[in-house]
Every structure is written in C-alpha cells, then in structure tokens.
Amino acid sequence: MRVLQFGRFHNEQQNGGVERHQQLLCKGLAANGLDVVYLVASANRLSHDETIDGYRLIQSPSFGTLFSTALSPAQVIKALELHRQQPFDILHLHFPNPLAHLASVLFPPSVKRVITWHSDIVKQKRLLAIYRPFLQSVTRRADALIAATPAHYSSSSQIPKDISKDKLRVIPFGLDYSNLNLTPQSESVRNRLLSRANGQAIVFALGRHVYYKGFDVLIDAMQHVNAQLIIGGDGHLRPQLQNQVEHLGLKNKIHFTGSIAEADLAAYFHACDVFCLPSVEPSEAFGLVQLEAMACGKPVICTQLNNGVNVLNVHGETGFAVPVCDSFALAERINQVLQDSQLRSMLGKQAYARARQVYSLEANTQQHIRLYQELVNII
C-alpha cells in the first residue's frame, strides 16, 4: 500500500504536536511494510529528498510562511508529480493546512482521502469567514475523518455536522516511549538540573513560544510558587517572555532552555515534579507533551479547554485542569501538588498507567493501517 502523508514542516523551529504525530505515524507505517512518502515544505528555497526511519521524506522549496501556512506551491506540484510517477492509494491530510486542502482538490478521485482533524482554525477569524465553505467542502468529500478523541468532534465548530457518522473515526494519538527512558547521558543532564534547583521543586513546561501556549500566564503564576520553572522550546515570543521574567524579578527561578535535543528530553521530564500545559486557546487540542510527562509518571496541570487536552489529562486522576488565563488558580494547583507528596505520587502513578495503556504508538499505527485497508478494500 502506497501512502502520501501531506504535512507542513520538518524542522525544530516549526515542529509542533502535529508534526511529531506525523513523523511517528510515518515511522510506524513504514515499519509495518507500507510505502510511505512524507511531503512537507522546506524551511527555505532548497529541496531535500532523503530516507528516514524507513519512509521517504521530501521537503519542497518554500518562500516562508504566512498565517502559519507554508508558502510552497512546489509542495502541491510535487505531490501530483509523485502520484503520476507511482500512484498513491491513500492521501492522508492533516488539518488545519490550506495547502493540504488544495492538494485534496487536485488529486484524482480514485485516491482515498483521509483527514486527521487536529484542531479548528482559531486565530485567523476574518480569513476563516471566507475560507470556511472551501474547508467544509473538502472535509465532506473525505473518505474518512480521524480525531484523537471524541471531544475533537464535539468541541469543533468547523467540522460539518452533516458528515456521515460512519466516516468519523477516533484513533488516540500514541508515542514511542523508548526515548523517555533515562540513559547515562540523560541521567547526567537530569542530575545537573537537580543540582541547579538546589533542593527546590521543579515545574517543567515545553512547547513552541507562540501565542496560544500561555507561557506568559505561567510566568505570572510563578510569582506565587516557591519552585524553579524550566521552560523548554523556542519561538518568536521568547524575547517577550524573557522581558516579562526580568520585569517581574523572576530571573532567579525561571530558566529558558531553547530547543532541547531529543536525547536530553527524558532528563527534563524525569527531573521535574510537575508538568504544566498552560495553553490559552483551543488551538491546543491534545498536547503530546503532557502525554510524555504522564508516561514519565509526572502529574500534569493543564487548562480547561474542553477538548482533547482534558480527555488526555483527567482532572483529579492524572492531574488537574484550571480555568484559562487564570494565573492565581494555576499557582494554587501547582502549590497543592508540590506540597502534597502523597497526592503527587498518586497522580503520577495514574498518569503513567493511562499514558502507557491507552496511548501507545503501536495501537495508533495498527488502527491507521486497518482504516487504510478498509478504504482500499484489501481486508
């Protein structure tokens, strides 16, 4: 079976949960014998073509981004060229992504279309008013629509309500947890983090420094928390966040790491006492980073977004959810978990069990394969 995974980016600066999910899915599909091409936009005007983890990664030239969308007409042209060379059975799109919508329109109807709905379009409301009819038309014509949780469907205002129920699938995201095991290298990094904390508790947050992540709210909350905060990741808002830390006089307790190497990531999750996902918009529709924290046995404090974020992190079972943009409520929950070791241990154990039992990469991969087989009638 030949599958085209149509993505957005493949570089650390722009990668988010959507990109991580696609990369893991491509790896899992390739390991099960599928012929997988992962087509994305390059970070520049150069093209790249290589094999990674058994799948073919092609990066098409781009002219940058606009409204979080790659300006890469070459990506759509390349998709059609690849199909002419050797036809695809499945075109798997990941929304929101207008370029993927264009590819869906231009591909012949013989190719089965699968859409994974990661989130609604939240920020570009004016453009959405014009774009919505096109978005809904493309979505209606898909052969299958996938979401990671039922809440993705119930919370969406953009998925057409008249789509046949037999097209709607729920396939929980999954991770390969092997990279979260401590190695001698990551153990050394963990020990350095603990030494720097000097006996204080550690709060960890990780993600691109973009508007919807809510790191500014977490920084405000740290005025009322006696702990060290480590913020991992990078993005265009980082200087603004650093200025906020300096203005509040919190430089001695809040540390920015920049992008964290994959080999070191386990160290940060294992060093922390609690993980925080303070997102402020439903653009954060699941939060793979909180799944990683849970898989390391850490309680999670997130915000009440009423979507997949809160399906994954169950309030009172694996952590807590607080009102959006409420720094006082966030500080209160962080303090509660840090000050009650018995509660922290209980939440961490339950988080570990939920992550490992429900959200495995193998289960995610096999469910995708069964869906593909069903669509091309080879079961």
Output the pLDDT for position 8. 87
Output the pLDDT for position 360. 92
CA dihedral over 88, 62, 13, 185, signed as positive or negative: positive
Which residues of the chain have a pLDDT value below 70? 11-15, 67-68, 124-125, 378-379
Side chain identity, residue 250 = L
For 3-52, the pLDDT digits (tens) are: 999 998 876 555 678 898 999 999 999 999 999 999 999 988 899 999 99
Output the pLDDT for position 132. 85
The neighbouring-strand residues paired with 205 are: 231
pTM: 0.83
Output the pLDDT for position 14. 53
Q: Are 283 and 306 in contact (CB under 8 A)?
A: no
CATH topology agreement for domains 2-174+360-375 and 178-358: yes
Ranges assigned E (strand) in 7-158: 35-41, 48-52, 55-60, 65-66, 69-70, 90-95, 112-117, 144-147
Output the pLDDT for position 351. 98
Q: Where are the domains of the chain?
A: 2-174+360-375, 178-358
Output the pLDDT for position 93. 96
Tell which CATH classification among 3.40.50.2000, 2.40.50.220, 3.40.50.300, 1.50.10.10 matches the domain 178-358.
Answer: 3.40.50.2000
CA distance 78 to 97: 16
Average predicted confidence (pLDDT) for the chain = 93
CA distance 176 to 180: 8
The residue with tokens 């205002």 is 157
Residue 72: count other Cβ atoms within 10 Å of its Cβ: 24
Q: Are 278 and 214 in contact (CB under 8 A)?
A: yes
H/E element, 371: helix 361-375
b/e 253-268 (16+ beta carbons within 10 angstroms → b): bbbbbeebeeebbbbb
For 325-347, the pLDDT digits (tens) are: 999 999 999 999 999 999 999 99
Output the pLDDT for position 15. 61
Architecture of domain 2-174+360-375: 3-Layer(aba) Sandwich (3.40)
Residue 240: count other Cβ atoms within 10 Å of its Cβ: 12
Output the pLDDT for position 67. 66
Tokens (6 digits) for 321:
């959810």
Residues 6 or more apart from 189 whose CB is under 8 A from it?
Answer: 264, 267, 268
Output the pLDDT for position 122. 77
Q: Are 372 and 89 in contact (CB under 8 A)?
A: yes
**33 CB burial (10 A radius; 0-12, 13-18, 19+):** exposed
Angle value at C-alpha 215, between 324 and 118, nearest 5 degrees: 65
Tokens (6 digits) for 224:
């009322």
CA distance 49 to 220: 44
